[in-house]
A = this chain, B = another copy of it.
């Protein structure tokens, strides 16, 4: 397995459930992953956990590092943001310069606690649009992974869940779809960054369904057979 030709990935806020879930999937697929956190120490603890989980799965030789968020964003080719909505803007301000010319995968869902089961989109339309406006046009913001249960990502098994991939640049969306597939799911070109509102709103619907069924629900796209 070679990582020479693969982009280096950073996950900012990579110590949370979703971040560690993505890290496990991407490391397993052979990517070099940098776990970013507010302090290098916190990131290092997550890396230690990650090495243990991977060793249990028989993968001792993985490419993973711990850094603070700014160092992680600087060292990576593609940067993923998995922080709570309340920390989205401050984290992006911190790493804005380091992101120029790169792809930012925004996984932020604009949940407003305590009513996380209620759709409450921000005035800008979506967290994806907030990120794109804050970072400027030279950062390719691609919104993805909002509807994937962290619990399922952390498992080693297959995922019955599709990923809506939104962003203003088709090439950047295509790069992210490769990472969706590397994580074991189908990714769909889902339109411009405005369309992130759909995936972000859907998360509150899935939380509503999870409460009723005691499950971790996701969505799949149906009816893909050509009809014309």
Residues of A near any B CB (own CB < 8 A): 117-121, 125-126, 149, 151-152, 160-161, 164, 166, 188-192, 194-195, 197-199, 201-202, 204-206, 208-209, 212-228
Contact = CB atoms under 8 A, between A and B. Distances in A.
A190 B213 CA distance: 12
A141 to B, nearest CB: 15
17 contacts: A118-B195, A120-B194, A121-B197, A161-B223, A164-B205, A189-B208, A189-B209, A189-B212, A190-B209, A191-B205, A195-B204, A195-B208, A197-B197, A213-B226, A215-B223, A217-B224, A220-B220
A191 B204 contact: yes
Contact of A205 (B149, B195, B208): B195
A79 to B, nearest CB: 24
A210 to B, nearest CB: 9
A151 B202 CA distance: 24
A223 B149 contact: yes
A119 B198 contact: yes
A177 to B, nearest CB: 12
A186 to B, nearest CB: 11
A218 B223 contact: yes
Contacts of A220: 219-220, 222
Nearest to A151: B227
A183 to B, nearest CB: 15
Contacts of A226: 213-215
A197 B122 CA distance: 12
Contacts of A119: 125-126, 191, 194-195, 197-198
A38 to B, nearest CB: 30
Contacts of A216: 223, 227
Contact of A222 (B198, B202, B219): B219
